[in-house]
Amino acid sequence: MSERLIYSEIERTKNEMVTALAEMIKIKAIAPDSGGEGEYDRAEHLMDVIEKFNFDKVQRYDAPDERAKNGVRPNIVAILNGKSKRKLWIISHIDTVPEGDITLWNTDPFMPVIKDNKIYGRGAEDNGQAVIASLYAIGILKRLNIEPEYTVGLAFVSDEEVGSKYGIKYLLEQNIFHKRDLILVPDHGEKDGLFIEIAEKSVLWLKITTYGKQVHASTPEEGVNAHRYGMNFALELDKLLHSEFGEKDELFRPPYSTFEPTKKEPNVANVNTIPGRDVIYFDCRILPKYNLDDIISFANELTKEFPDVKIEIEPVEKHQAPPGTDPNSDIVKLLKKVVKKVKGKEAQVGGIGGGTCAAEFREKGYNAVVWETIEGTAHQPNEYAVIDNILEDAKVFALMATTPLEEEKK
């Protein structure tokens, strides 16, 4: 009976949920590292939305960051008490990446557009869908006076996109989590909602700086073109990393390590100057079997093959993947059980290359899983969330809170 009631109430609040997501998209929440002011304004707005659900406890954990608006990076925790003190945590992030090349967008990235069962805007899918679906799923239990099986903790965190220092890492320092907790991070998935992520690749971001000699472009013989050497080095490194560290592990999607040249810093502002300094970045997602120090050493060794310039390798993000979550852990069992109930099919477990908050929990010995139903438009122009996915994920979250594990019944 309660299951039908939950489904009905989620469907009834569809427009409310869509409006809540649209209003959130309008408020930029970009990290100072990416040229933004941080998440303060969005957190203030979200606090107002949370207030109307009358949770048993709502608390802010503001991480100090003088670069951000009002000097803080906010993290919000809302608690709904359940039959058991054991907690089910649903952890989503409120920050977004910048819009990227604005010319590739069909609409203003921060003015949401609702069309064809989709809501378009930066952060709609990553991670606004999860924020709204989890908030309303558990908020609706409170509205309906349904006591969950577990005490439910909703965490809305900052800084996920650029390292989580001011987000989940800060929350972990507050000692609010317990090793027995059931931890779900809805920040990756597939279109059918049948993939549960239990492991992640290691993350390594490399900054590669090439130093030459700046001169007028009409007299290249008098200088050393850092841009040319930098490009050649990057291409050679790209090729050799793939061959040297090319083993496969079928647990992961894709089943191999990836090494992608991404960000390029400006070198000179005018066409007729040969640059004396060039900077490029690599985003590497590496199978856990490889040691990140070995990859850094390999890149440093390659610089010796370019004696005409000085090349510096600097790891700006480095996270060796911890062991994955036990596929027979309680959180995997519970999520599989509920996904089958909602979607009628068995979910499969596996690993991904993307970094999520779950890795921070696994690092400290917690079992955590990543799951949601998404189209995979994160970080792309014209990012969108499918409205039906928001509703269906909300049903999964609500049923997770109200579905006992076998051992909980004893």
Q: Which bin fits 403, alpha (ψ -120 to 50), beta or left (φ > 0)?
A: beta
Q: C-alpha 250: how far from its chain's center?
A: 22
What's the rounded Cα separation, in Å, for the pair 316 and 318? 7
Provide the token pair at 142: 């409170």
Hey, which bits of 128-201 come out as E strands?
A: 150-157, 182-185, 195-200
**Cα end-to-end span (Å), the chain:** 23
Hey, which bits of 246-356 come out as E strands?
A: 252-253, 258-264, 273-274, 277-286, 310-319, 348-352
| Catalytic residue ranges | 95, 160
Residue 68, CB-side half-sphere exposure with 13 Å CA sphere: 24
Q: Do residues 162 and 34 touch, judged by C-beta distance below 8 A?
A: yes
Give the Å distances, CA to CA, from 161 to 94, 147, 386: 10, 34, 22
